[in-house]
Structure 1
């Protein structure tokens, strides 16, 4: 585990993940036009598994970690998030609220892994908390233009999804401790396989009968959205993410995801016509300051 600052290659990987996952929320909205949340979860991970599972061997780690990661990151994070987006959550706000995983990760990392936050990270987390508070103020304001598009249930479910993401971060760190030479792409592909059957079972149990075969009538754009979610956001995004967690502490990697709301808000504004309010601009400024603290604070302190 490296305590040094991220290399240029690692920084590029982190920023790539920020873009891929920022666009992710708009893509989810498109896919949910023709799929139920459970159908979308199953389809996403079928795409993530095939055809790569035919060519990539299982990772050389205990299977309990593969199963736990698949359940937390797949069924937990995205099953809950898809449901939140359907019952009352905008793509823009979801991209912000999901980043509370930074705080959950730091908490779980402290309790379970005994990881401690550096001073720049502490400052960054305070700034990020203020930024998230600004975003929340925008939606708590009864006059906000997007307030009617969200519900309390959608809000709470998105926070639950963030907690599931944080737990998957902790699992990835534990994998690094027990098997330092594991393959992140193999880990992501085979853990994705774990999520398929639970999503299929949940769809069979909870989706209304009229929805069981609606995926056969899905538009081509919805299938392209599923392909993006499965191959780009999952395989590419999470392979890069787990590679970073393999080399650095969880509470050092997780704050980079705070850039996701910036991309998510921009995508929501350009693609879905969502409005950026003064509260949101204030939140964006604070999130950028938080990222600057995390990425540059250690270097400035050493100098």
Structure 2
């Protein structure tokens, strides 16, 4: 990964780490499933009208949209609405990184270096240390829901990579990300209508312009403009440019920003043990970004010349 792309990846980490604060503010006013639908619906309407659909196989676009868009945020918003602390949510959701690496290795047969595997293992130790230290802040159900969100994100990462690798013509990562946003709104609105009631979300939207609820609109704007369009657009570009096992470990740094921001703004102060775990996460994620050496690979059963993202297409 080039220094420029590494810097772009770190920019995504900061945007996504702060995104958890915006989610918390929004969930203080909106029902979770409707809030998840709204953040994509506002993007999807102008996209359908003004943005040409990227020439990618529909199945990979659907995998990207249902994994990254629908599954990840339905489970994440449900978990945070059920009591998952903001900082801990930012940590547990990054289970997507080891999930992505493993899925990329076994489903796409992507090569993993010893450095990548070791780095992931070290980062998971750090995440586990933070999770063990902070687990008393959350019940079991929110943690399980957040893990399911991480698994959904991992499948979305694979869908993003497969879609980008099989684009007809010039790659268009921003268009791909924007059209991913077209997929989740209708299923999410249907889920909201069934679970939360057909009018609950719309009533919350109608009262969001009051003096007490306007911060939820600020949170929604951040999620749409910075968390989704900027953050997810850059992430999609990186996933299309590099193997999933090289990009995904960067997301392990999100909890460092998320826990720090939640401590600063929400007074979820990290303990010394959590800080030690954060340092371990940084060290592991950095090691996982080391350049692969062909002589030291694992989980590899395809020739190096084979483009892994096109297997099975």
Map 1:1-303 to 2 at 5 A.
6-140=1-135, 147-148=136-137, 150-179=138-167, 181-208=170-197, 211-212=200-201, 213-218=203-208, 219-296=213-290
Q: Which runs of 5+ in 1 are unaligned?
A: 1-5, 141-146
Deviations 1:40-93 (A, max 9, x none): 111100232343443321111122222221111111000110000011201100
Deviations 1:148-186 (A, max 9, x none): 4x1110000000000000001111121133227331111
Structure 1 residue runs of 4+, over 6 Å off? none
Deviations 1:201-231 (A, max 9, x none): 1111110467242221122211121111122
The 2-side partners of 1:291 and 1:162 are apart by: 17
Q: Relative to total residues, which structure has the larger helix share, 1 or 2?
A: 1
SS at match of 1:286: helix
Asked if 1 retains the 8 angstrom alpha-carbon contact of 2:47 and 2:179, the reply is: no
Asked if 1 retains the 8 angstrom alpha-carbon contact of 2:40 and 2:182, the reply is: yes
Asked if 2 retains the 8 angstrom alpha-carbon contact of 1:131 and 1:284, the reply is: yes
Asked if 2 retains the 8 angstrom alpha-carbon contact of 1:47 and 1:227, the reply is: no
CA, structure 1 residues 58+282, in 2 after alignment: closer, same or farther (shift >3 Å)? same
Asked if 1 retains the 8 angstrom alpha-carbon contact of 2:61 and 2:160, the reply is: no
TM-score (norm 1): 0.90
Q: In the alignment, which residue of structure 2 is the partner of 1:3? A: none
After TM superposition, give the deviation of residue 298 of structure 1 in Å.
5.7
SS at match of 1:193: coil
After TM superposition, give the deviation of residue 286 of structure 1 in Å.
0.2
After TM superposition, give the deviation of residue 24 of structure 1 in Å.
0.8
SS at match of 2:181: helix
SS at match of 1:31: helix
The 1-side partners of 2:3 and 2:98 are apart by: 25
| Of 204-213 and 82-91, the range deviating more from structure 2 | 204-213
The 1-side partners of 2:292 and 2:199 are apart by: 56
Q: Which runs of 5+ in 2 are unaligned?
A: 296-313
Deviations 1:228-262 (A, max 9, x none): 11221111111111111111000000001111011
SS at match of 1:35: coil
